[in-house]
Structure 1
Amino acid sequence: MKNKEHPKLKIANAWKSSILLVAAFLFVSQLSAQVDSNSIVVHKDPRIDLLIKKQIQINEETTRDSRRNVPGYRIQVINSSDRNKVFAAKTKIYQDFPELKPYLIYQPPNYKLKVGNFKTPEEADPYLKELSKMFPSGVYVIHDVIEIKLEKPE
């Protein structure tokens, strides 16, 4: 005689098998997710590295070749602990002397405002006279390291 299972028992066994299969799948996928969560895979075009290297080279050449620091002179316009006063002087210089580059230095507790990049003190004299009229207290030429622009040979 054949062993016939009851239909309800067949369905119950099928459900048990399905639940067991889903549970096993979830367990394995959870292990897989834990392994993969510690690493990131990035797919990129290898030409990006070439572009980055080229930009680094351009930046180094531009910075190195366009300016050089040499001994020279600047005009010290103001030396004060009043930050607002120094920034107001810097703004005034930007407006009246756009060709002079201002340099703001903070040496606690004072702010110093220096302007220009002059190779000789004589080169600074015309500006010194004008700045002395605008800022009557303590404008003078000082020895400093200045930036000079290098001319590119053609």
Structure 2
Amino acid sequence: MTTLWWWCGLGLVLLCLEMLLGTLYLLWLGIAALVMAVLCAIFSEMPLALQALNYAVLSAVALAVIRKLEKRTPALRVGQAQGEEIGREGIVTVAISPLQPGKIRFTQGVLGSREWVAHANVAIGEQQAAKVVAVEGNSLRVAPVPHIN
């Protein structure tokens, strides 16, 4: 019965570490330890060597399954451009030149912000319309919107 509590303790320690670190790997190792505690409760005469072997197998299987699931699910790109910002139009609030970045403001936020540092290959004056052509780190690359007369 003593090894049952060791496995419970190990499982809880690993789960607490997972909450601190957030890696998702320790979660599965902790769950495997808790499963070992249940197996020790069911099979109380299991030798320690077999317990260690079972834990190693459970951990390896759990990690293999989570790795397989990680590859199958697309990565969330929180805070990163995913293409829908390209083409959005805004108004330049600080003039932009090829040598000096300016600022552009949008009526609706782009990636969580209404105002962005903007770079351009051509000069764009204040109060001119510009559209996003690329997201470059923490700034936008913009181009002037042609006037239709």
What TM-score range do you get, normalising by the shorter chain?
A: under 0.3
Query: Larger % of helix: which?
Result: 1
For the pair shown, which has the larger CA radius of gyration, 1 or 2? Answer: 1
Q: Which has the higher contact order (CA 8 A, sep 6+)?
A: 1
After TM superposition, the score normalised by the length of structure 1 is 0.26
After TM superposition, the score normalised by the length of structure 2 is 0.26
